[in-house]
Amino acid sequence: MLQRVAVDALVMLVAPVELDDAATMKERLPAPLAAEVAGMRERDLFGGRLGQVQALPTLGLLPCRSLVLSGLGPAASSADAWRDAGVYAARAALARGLQRLAVPLPQAAGDVRERVRALAEGLLLGGYRMPSFAAAAQPSPPALREIALVADRADLAALGGDDAAEGFAQPLEAARVLAIATQYARDLTNLPGNVLVPDTLAQEAARVASRYGMACTVLDEAAIKEHGMGGLYAVGQGSANPPRMISIRYQGTDTWDDVVGLVGKGITFDTGGISLKKPEGMEEMISDMGGAAVLLGLLHVLGRLKPKINLVVVIPSAENMPSGRAYRPGDVITMMSGHTVEVLNTDAEGRIVLGDGIHYAKQLGAQRIVDVATLTGAVLITLADVATGALSNNEQLQQEILGAARQAGEKVWAFPNYPEYHEMLKSEVADIKNASSRDRWAGSITGGLFIGFFAGDTPWLHLDTGGTAWLWNERDTQPKGGTGAMVRTLAHWLCNV
């Protein structure tokens, strides 16, 4: 099976039930290696559980240096298991300097194309490495150079004959595109705040849009003020790096109708402004543009897969800094929509810039809107860093996004949208206030509903990635730092990959 593929390691995805059947492992491996795997099972070193990985030398029994075993867990036939097992296998291989991998497809009944896409996606995502700015010469960390998915003739016959290999081309390309988009979003999120400011974010957006022939418009601080975007202008006025409003248009049909709007929070650094954050952990605030990174990552998906949809991407970008020019608690600002906002907390700035972003997206033709934002720390209280919070004014849109998240293997939990929560944002001096007076109560919900106020009757959904866009340490299948959370969910929703 491996004679025609020059690789460093054979990667086998193994379900617990396979380890219970000695004959199965002997069919898949030379007898001495099968015996060693059985011994590892007896010593409780490898039981095929998801997340379990073991590597052992092949001792010349296979035409490669190493055998990497990655557990599938009890749900061995699910796409999620194949994706996650691929991530763990890629990490284990790279930790051992193994750069060329052959991965036999696990035996599975029925059409396995979705699982093959998930497996390839996992292998590619598991190869992610955070970029380094170190000046000293350092050996480059190993990177995956080649992955061969291997199916023998019996496998192909079970999948529909020799032409089944051709049928894998589309899911493999989808996996590659999803990985490219997610890793791009991770890299962008990991950029330091002195490297990525609103203007450089706008330049990057224009570069990516131009690469795929999409129209990009950037409004500078003067144009932002001229357009009446008082929310974005107020948040950005305290910084030496002025704000930018970025919009990108993707047209995949002959007529500009049924337009989807995506709005992403682009706060390139957030000190909290006058309502200054505590210093511990503030360095994480380079990730406060994680929503913008997700949407720019999606441009790679749209540009490569070219779905038949119409889309406008809007990114309000600013730095939230304290200075003599910064906006203050107690200020009343006028938004692009004409509504007024009473500012109670300058650290609740993301929802303010998104309010202008939502209205701008509607002006550009958006008929359904999804916003993505590292909006609240409160989401961590409810969901930790495990799941993204969702809030919507439209049940159909909400179910579509939740379904796409399940396909992508990303965890999203819907918050309730009750009238009592809206009451918490009523102001005595303006149309709405940017934080509840009891801001420790339902903080994620009220923060989202502030954004929804500017959506009005337009179908709208908010994704709060305040807990999932950035991780302090590698956890499960997610890397340390920027994660690119929600790139794949939105790609599934928009492109049906």
Count of other CB atoms within 10 angstroms of residue 167: 15
Q: Which residues of 446-464 are buried (b: 16+ CB within 10 A; e: fewer)?
A: bbbbbbbbbbeebbbbbbb
DSSP 322-349: -STTS--TT-EEE-TTS-EEE-S-TT--
Count of other CB atoms within 10 angstroms of residue 272: 18
Token pair of 489, please? 């969910």
DSSP 122-136: HHHHHT--------S
Q: Does residue 207 have an active-site annotation?
A: no
Contact 365, 452 (CB under 8 A): no
Residue 194 CA to residue 239 CA, distance in Å, equals 12
Count of other CB atoms within 10 angstroms of residue 309: 16
Q: Binding site for Mn(2+): which residues?
A: 265, 270, 288, 347, 349
Q: Binding site: which residues?
A: 265, 270, 288, 347, 349
**Residue with token string 């060329």:** 100
Token pair of 294, please? 């997700």
Task: List C-alpha distances in Å: 23 to 27, 42, 75, 254, 454.
Answer: 6, 16, 21, 58, 63
CA 66 to chain centre: 32
Token pair of 365, please? 């033709």
Task: List C-alpha distances in Å: 412 to 70, 290, 419, 476.
Answer: 26, 16, 22, 16
Name the active-site residue from 186, 244, 351, 368: 351
Q: Does residue 406 have an active-site annotation?
A: no
Q: Which residues are 104's β-sheet partners? A: 150
Name the active-site residue from 113, 277, 411, 480: 277
Which residues belong to the active site? Answer: 277, 351
